[in-house]
Amino acid sequence: DNNKSVEITKGINDLDKIILHQTQGSSVEVYLYGAHVTSWKKKGEELIFVSSKAIFSPPKPIRGGIPVIFPQFSNLGSLPSHGFARNRFWTIENNLSHVTNEVFVDLLLKPTEADLKIWPHRFEFRLRVTLKPGGDLMLTSCIRNTDAAGKPFTFTFAHHTYFSVSNISEVEVKGLENLDYLDNLKNRTRFTEHEDDITIESEFDRIYLSTPSKLAILDHKKRTFVVQKDGLPDAVVWNPWETKAKTIVDLGADEYKYMICLEAAAIGKPVTLNPGEEWKGRLQLSTRY
Ligand SMILES: O=P(O)(O)OC[C@H]1O[C@H](O)[C@H](O)[C@@H](O)[C@@H]1O
């Protein structure tokens, strides 16, 4: 199929799903539940990890893909872990297909009255999911404070991308050398990275601070993922490894071997928006063979 298109369809458990098709066998699938990307393919080949045990039943977040973490990363606040954007139903704002060479869909999240009870801030979060002509995936986030009462709000944010890898033992993360990080396994104690290449040989859960706009995951048996980002200074690297994986009901026992999370984030310096102000973040994923 060589046609660019935007298809609105049903996914697992009859949940609404959008499929973007680009030339040369590239595609992206995104659920309205969570604005959650669950597939990104180039030349028909899957690049994103989704657990074989993923539960597509709201309010459970989907294990794998690219969850949107907003307005709170992890337990850095009083909300449930990772906030609520990943388990809300988003709406389609427009699906003007290929006005350029790109194929995209714009998704929108606004708080419900119930959301306002747990996080009393009015906002509009627009997420544009774009599939570029070469098959690159771009996620553009625009968050606006629409609170007429004049209150600022503060948030933390991440695109919690689960990349599919041949085997975690073949993987190196590039671009984080000499940076400071908070180790989530040591009460977020701050350390400095002394390794040039980060390899993962046990449970790993770190927030690297003020990272370069370009990072990479080298999978020696498959491909290199290039992660380019704007407005998302931090990068979380996560792999649960064997023992932790066994405690995660929606992850197969050995599936930790076939995934790595490299999350473009804004955590170290939370973002504050005054009424009428807007924040933008951009993530572009590409591959090299
Ligand atoms: O299980 P979840 O709520 O989806 O979180 C999965 C993981 O997300 C991030 O990477 C955090 O740094 C980890 O501490 C957490 O375990």
Residues 6+ apart with CB under 8 A from 44: 25
What pLDDT score was predicted for residue 97? 60
CB of 8 closer than 8 Å to CB of 18: yes
What pLDDT score was predicted for residue 100? 75
Residues annotated as catalytic are 160, 263
> Within the chain, which residues score under 70 in pLDDT?
1-2, 95-99
156 C-alpha to ligand 1 centroid (Å): 14
> Which amino acid would we find at residue 32?
L
What pLDDT score was predicted for residue 289? 78
Among 36, 66, 261, 263, which residue has the most ligand 1 atoms within 8 Å of its CB, making it the best to mutate? 261
Give the position, in ligand 1's atom list, of the atom nearest the Cα of 263: 10
Among 186, 205, 239, which residue has the most ligand 1 atoms within 8 Å of its CB, making it the best to mutate? 205
What pLDDT score was predicted for residue 98? 57
Which pTM value belongs to this model? 0.97
CB of 176 closer than 8 Å to CB of 237: yes
Phi, then psi, of 257 in degrees rounded to 5: -70, -20
What pLDDT score was predicted for residue 148? 81
Please give the CATH number for the structural domain made up of 5-288: 2.70.98.10
Q: Where does ligand 1 bind, in terms of residues with CB under 6 Å?
A: 61, 74, 81-82, 184, 205, 236, 238, 261
Check: complex ipTM more than 0.95: yes
What pLDDT score was predicted for residue 150? 82
What pLDDT score was predicted for residue 183? 98
Give the position, in ligand 1's atom list, of the atom nearest the Cα of 205: 12
Residues 6+ apart with CB under 8 A from 285: 40, 47, 136, 137, 138, 161, 225, 226, 227, 228
The b-or-e profile of 220-241 (16+ CB within 10 A means b, else e) is eebbebbbbbebbbbbbbbbbb
SS3 91: strand
What pLDDT score was predicted for residue 128? 97
Nearest to 215 by CA among 168, 183, 185, 177: 177
